[in-house]
């Protein structure tokens, strides 16, 4: 089978999610640590975002599409449920994470602080929104988690975002006030798929 190439810097939360799914399935891949808007990425993603993927003649962009392709084409444990209700629940979570939680936690909070060096007061609205999201997650993770698969694409998608916000005092405080989220993050961060795909320490100026 052709070589699978995951394209994108490893400290991207979405690149981490795709790599975690590969690790969970035992799928071999090459990581091409290209930055957003680099020629390798822009050849595939119309707006230069990461991750992108190449597998033989197949190129893909968008995390959800890449994970779906890998889960369908490669052997190994499924990271997306097959049963209709569980599948719809997973899609519900993935959509929520990719469109709403990522927007607040990564685009409006982590990226301005860590990459843009934005002053703290500039991200105050995002902190309020993040606190609401983490509080909601705490309730959602309280009962029986909707996806009893041991490890799924939902975990791969959510854990990197929670990890990044936990590195900042405002995010760490929100997680500390949410015991179910804190326990979930601790448990999932120890999962071999998350450990094997974890990004190296972030470069000083990224
Ligand atoms: N909807 C895309 C979002 C990808 C995305 O936002 N990637 C970030 C890095 S985590 C990126 O490339 N940012 C650069 C930019 O938006 O210009 C997906 O699910 O893959």
110 and 187 housed in the same domain: yes
36 and 108 housed in the same domain: no
What is the predicted pLDDT for the residue at 206? 43
23 and 96 housed in the same domain: no
Phi, psi (deg, nearest 5) at residue 59:
-120, 145
Cβ of 50 less than 6 Å from ligand 1: yes
- Whole-number Å distance, alpha carbon 196 to ligand 1 midpoint, is 22
| Residue bearing the CA closest to ligand 1, atom 1 | 62
Residue 199 inside a domain? The answer is no
| Residue bearing the CA closest to ligand 1, atom 6 | 49
What is the predicted pLDDT for the residue at 156? 97
Instruction: Show which of 19, 52, 79 is a domain's final residue.
Output: 79
Atom of ligand 1 nearest to the CA of 36: 12
Cβ of 98 less than 6 Å from ligand 1: yes
Where residue 21 falls (left for φ over 0; alpha for ψ -120 to 50; beta otherwise) is alpha
73 and 18 housed in the same domain: yes
Cβ of 166 less than 6 Å from ligand 1: no
Which residues form the domain of 40?
4-79
What is the predicted pLDDT for the residue at 72? 98
28 and 88 housed in the same domain: no
108 and 181 housed in the same domain: yes
Longest dimension (CA), the chain: 51
- Whole-number Å distance, alpha carbon 14 to ligand 1 midpoint, is 7
Mean pLDDT by runs of 10 across the 206 residues of the chain is 94 98 98 98 98 98 98 97 92 96 97 87 96 96 64 96 97 97 94 96 56
Which is it for the CA torsion 55, 57, 59, 65, positive or negative?
A: negative
CATH of the domain at 151: 1.20.1050.10
92 and 106 housed in the same domain: yes
Atom of ligand 1 nearest to the CA of 66: 20
Residue 119 inside a domain? The answer is yes
- Exposed, middle or buried: residue 192 (CB in 10 Å: 0-12, 13-18, 19+)? exposed
What is the predicted pLDDT for the residue at 202? 61
Identify which of 42, 50, 65, 104 to mutate to test ligand 1's pocket (most ligand atoms within 8 A of the CB): 50
Count how many domains the chain has: 2
CATH of the domain at 54: 3.40.30.10
pTM of the model: 0.95
- Exposed, middle or buried: residue 7 (CB in 10 Å: 0-12, 13-18, 19+)? buried
Which residues, in sequence order, are CB contacts of 11 under 8 Å at separation 6+?
Answer: 199, 200, 202, 203, 206
User: Are the C-beta atoms of 60 and 66 separated by less than 8 Å?
Assistant: yes
Cβ of 14 less than 6 Å from ligand 1: yes
Question: DSSP class of residue 149?
Answer: S
Q: Determine the Cα–Cα distance for residues 59 and 45; give it in Å rounded to an integer.
A: 9
Cβ of 12 less than 6 Å from ligand 1: yes
Residue 29 inside a domain? The answer is yes
User: Are the C-beta atoms of 153 and 21 separated by less than 8 Å?
Assistant: yes
What is the predicted pLDDT for the residue at 205? 47
What is the predicted pLDDT for the residue at 118? 83
């Amino acid at each position: 089978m052709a070589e699978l190439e995951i394209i994108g810097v490893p400290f991207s939360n979405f690149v981490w999610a795709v790599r975690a799914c590969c690790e969970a399935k035992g799928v071999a891949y090459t990581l091409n640590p290209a930055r957003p808007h680099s020629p390798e990425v822009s050849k595939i993603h119309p707006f230069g975002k990461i991750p992108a993927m190449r597998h033989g003649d197949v190129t893909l962009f968008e995390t959800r599409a890449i994970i779906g392709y890998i889960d369908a084409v490669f052997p190994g444990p499924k990271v997306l449920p097959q049963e209709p209700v569980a599948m719809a629940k997973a899609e519900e979570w993935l959509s929520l994470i990719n469109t709403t939680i990522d927007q607040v936690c990564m685009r409006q909070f982590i990226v301005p602080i860590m990459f843009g060096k934005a002053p703290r007061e500039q991200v105050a609205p995002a902190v309020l929104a993040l606190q609401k999201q983490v509080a909601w997650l705490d309730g959602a993770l309280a009962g029986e988690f909707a996806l009893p698969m041991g490890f799924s694409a939902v975990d791969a998608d959510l854990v990197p975002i929670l990890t990044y916000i936990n590195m900042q005092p405002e995010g760490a405080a929100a997680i500390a006030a949410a015991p179910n989220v804190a326990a979930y993050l601790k448990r999932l961060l120890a999962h071999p798929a998350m450990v094997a795909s974890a990004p190296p320490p972030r470069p000083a100026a990224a």
